[in-house]
Amino acid sequence: MKSKTDLPELIRAMSKSEKRYFTLDAQKSGRQNSRYLELFQAINDMPDYDEERLKEKFGANLPSDKTYLYDAIMRSMRDYRSSRSYSARIKEMILDSKYLYERGLYDQCEERLAEAKKLALELDDQLALLEINREEQNLAWNSKKDYEAFLKKLITEKDNNIDALSEEFKYLEKSSQLLMKLKKGSVKILADNGEGQNPFSLNDFSADLEPKSFHAKRRYLQCRALQSEIQRDFESVTNFYERIIEWWGKNPKFREEEFYRYFVDISNLLHAYANQGQYIKVDKLVTQLEKHAQHSFHDKVVVFQRFAIYKLMYYINTGRTQEINVFISKINKGLNQYGNLLSTGAKMIIIFNLAILLFIHNRLEECMFWCKKIIKEFKTSPVRKDILRASYLLFLIASFDGQEPDTIEKDLRSAQRTFQKEKISKEEFEWQVFDYLKKLLFSAPFETKDLLWQFKTFILEYRKENAGKVALGADELMLWFIESKLQKIPVIQIVQRNNRSDQT
């Protein structure tokens, strides 16, 4: 533990069941742990960590007490996870075998290593297999009559393990290099110039070089997906991420063991589908993800986050209405259950998209409720100011129907003060939209149609010149609003019509 905040961050990250397990585990140890349990509870009960308050209560020994508590939590969590983790069971069986070997119980040691090896083979865990191989070679002197043949077999297995591990690390390193290149905004991969200046070349990812070892295949496919993304070949990006998900399907046990890594690959495929407007596939994949068993509270949080974001994307962009009430109820429930554990940015995205969905379905009071929640809770947050601004705009267009002019005018003044405080330029999208909404509010009936056309022209020209610079499709949202006013039909019909034209 290096930082003062390491311990409170660890406690905050624990699920309720993990905290309960630790508490019961510590209570078994008797009186000596009561002080540390008291410290654990004090930190757990703090809305915001306060070191000074703890010093007043626990005195000069607080630093050492915190270190002890941190280590105690980690020991307890190792026990908690051991029954749920195949990798932990392999490590425990290897430790068991060493103990049995030291006591001269060679047959029992051999049996324990055989159990560990069977499980490691199922996971294709090459590092564990190498460690088991080393222990088997140590044991061979004492347990095998045909020592020479057995040793030869172990050496062959060891060489195969090293080859597979080397292959996996080769593509792991290349995928990391490609990811760095992608983050830097590179648009192409340069072929190796023969002088070793480039960390990889296009030839490294040739289809005929696809690796044979199990885990290297996944890393290879990740490299191909990242390479395709750098080259802006998004159809190939989707294809390679689909193959990665197929790879996970071939080993359900490893998928269960490494659920978070599986989740990352699912997220990458969801992003690829959404990037290409394949929202029906988004829906199917999200449904598939939701059905997978999530063993930890953390797994449930991350699955809810992706479920909420991409399912909202599906409903918003397709205009589908089936099971919409059930879905909105799930989002409400999830926000209540997991909201405190979501990042500020993720929570804002979910709430804003929920407000958009409610707006589309003409549930304007609910839409305004969630917009107000963003404005109230995140007004001072430095995170995602673009969503905060877009929430003001969504609130204003939602209030146009059913609100008294005096109320709308008050809301306009509030938005104006915020934009001024944030020093938003008059040329920026939010200010110009705000001006059009203000004109519409105070316009005479005969002026409204011309103003709406001017508004629409502005949005279309802005989109053309500033592609991708508007938060979460607020430009598209404004166009839906304008079209619904011009055509005098509900927004949902505009969305559904656009979706039908996109599919033809």
Predicted TM-score (pTM) of the model is 0.76
* Alpha-carbon distances of 208 from 167, 175, 203, 220, rounded to whole Å: 15, 18, 10, 12
Question: What pLDDT digit, counting tens, does each position of 77-110 carry?
Answer: 888 877 778 898 999 999 999 999 998 999 899 9
| Residue with the larger pLDDT of the pair 406 and 169 | 169
Residue 193 banded pLDDT, cuts 50, 70, 90? very low
pLDDT tens, residue by residue, 244-288: 999 999 888 888 888 888 988 999 999 999 988 899 999 999 988
- DSSP per-residue letters across 303-321: HHHHHHHHHHHHHHHH---
Confidence of residue 29 (pLDDT cuts 50, 70, 90): low
pLDDT grade, residue 190 (50/70/90)?
Answer: very low
Among 147-156, 391-400, 450-459, which range has the highest average pLDDT? 450-459
* Tens-place pLDDT, residues 115-141: 999 999 999 999 999 999 999 998 887
Is the pLDDT assigned to residue 31 strictly greater than 60? no
According to the 3-state scheme, what is the secondary structure of 375-441?
HHHCCCCCCCHHHHHHHHHHHHHHHCCCCCHHHHHHHHHHHHHHHHHCCCCCCCHHHHHHHHHHHHH
Taking all residues of the chain, what is their mean pLDDT, rounded to a whole number?
85
pLDDT digits (tens, 9 = 90+) for 448-462: 999 999 999 999 998
Per-residue confidence band for 188, with pLDDT thresholds at 50, 70 and 90: very low
Q: Is the pLDDT of residue 61 over 90?
A: no
Residue 285 makes CB contacts below 8 A (sequence gap 6+) with 266, 269, 270, 273, 310
- Please state the rounded mean pLDDT for residues 194-210: 55
- Position 162: which residue type? I
> pLDDT digits over 276-329, tens only?
889 999 999 998 888 776 667 777 888 899 899 999 999 998 888 888 999 999
Contact assessment for residue 346 and residue 309, using Cβ atoms and an 8 Å cutoff: yes
